[in-house]
Amino acid sequence: MTYRIAIVDDNQADREFLHAQAQSWATQNDSTLQVELFASAEEFLFHYAEHKDYDILLLDIEMPGMDGVTMARRIRKENETLQIVFITGYSEYISEGYEVAALHYLMKPVNTDKLHQVLDRAADKLQRNERCLTLELSGEVVRLPLYQIRWAEVRQNYLTIHAKADYTVKMTLSELENRLDDRFFRAGRSFIINLTEVRSVTRQEVRLSDGTVIPLPRGQYEPLNRAIISRG
């Protein structure tokens, strides 16, 4: 398994220590790391604007300029899957980690065993949790967790993905289908449905948990029911 890790800390010695220990963890777990080091929140955010595919973030809280909590708030507005681990020398910051759904916090000086345990948790959560769909929208890159996708529909050459928000992209239904997993069912030429969101099915329509009603194309009733049953 390959993980992309960003380490953001204004102290060079701390950055290098975290880097070395993360590599040690990867060696022990037969994993591959792509690690990038940043000396400030501002430096990271400048890079993140173009490269959003990080898996784990080791983030110092107390830094000159923008602090780590403020930076984490900005990231959480668009990215719910990044595993954020706060690094801090002060226990009073712990409560702020809950606000941005931090995986954990580590007190300085960081204990190697504790860091490895937290990286184990992050890796487990990444593997259990979610693959993401990367979308390019008007020059912006959005990472959309698959579990958030309720359904998708195609009209002419454009596809609309319905999640917490609606995303319209130029993509075929087949292209989207190939990027999803087995929780999704393709209903004819126009729709893809998240099976975990299905609440009822008739021969004419599918009703989702949020009340959305999707017309069910002819011949799709039996295959859809088989797909639901096969998932248990």
DSSP state at residue 10: S
Please give the chain's pLDDT, 232 residues, in tens. Answer: 789 999 999 999 999 999 999 999 999 999 999 999 999 999 999 999 988 889 999 999 999 999 999 999 999 888 878 999 999 887 766 666 666 878 888 999 999 999 999 999 999 888 766 678 889 888 788 888 888 899 999 998 899 999 989 999 999 999 999 999 888 999 999 999 999 889 899 999 999 988 999 999 999 999 999 988 876 5
Give the domain range for residue 226: 132-230
- Considering the domain architecture, whether residues 118 and 180 belong to the same structural domain is answered as no
Count of structural domains, the chain? 2
| Sheet with 205-208, side-by-side order of all strands | 198-201, 205-208, 213-215
Q: What does the DSSP 8-state code read for residue 131?
A: -
Q: Which residues pair with 214 in a beta bridge?
A: 206
Residue 194 shares a structural domain with residue 110:
no
Closest alpha carbon to 1 in 129, 135, 182, 124: 124
The verdict on 11 and 120 lying in the same domain is yes
- Is residue 141 a contact partner of residue 191, using CB atoms and an 8 Å limit? no
Q: CA of 48: how far to CAs of 43, 74, 231, in Å?
A: 9, 11, 37
With beta carbons less than 8 A apart as the criterion, state whether 5 and 34 touch: yes
In angstroms, the CA 205 to CA 202 distance is 5
Residue 139: predicted pLDDT: 78
The reply to whether 110 and 158 lie within a common domain is no
Longest CA span, the chain = 64
Q: In whole angstroms, what is the distance from residue 60 CA to residue 40 CA? A: 9
- What is the residue whose two structure tokens read 């002819």? 218
Model pLDDT, residue 232: 53
Q: Which two tokens stand for residue 167?
A: 């995303």
Residues in Cβ contact with 222 at an 8 Å cutoff, skipping those fewer than 6 apart: none
Given this model, what pLDDT does residue 43 score? 98
List the 191-194 sheet strands across, edge first: 166-169, 158-162, 151-155, 191-194, 184-187
Asked if 83 and 97 touch (Cβ cutoff 8 Å), the reply is no
One domain, residues 122 and 173? no
Residues 117 and 186 in one domain: no
Structure tokens at 113: 């065993």
Contact assessment for residue 184 and residue 205, using Cβ atoms and an 8 Å cutoff = no
Give the three-class secondary structure for 200.
strand
115 and 175 in one domain?
no
Residue 124 shares a structural domain with residue 136: no
Q: Does one domain contain both 28 and 51?
A: yes
Rg (alpha carbons) of the chain, rounded to whole number: 21
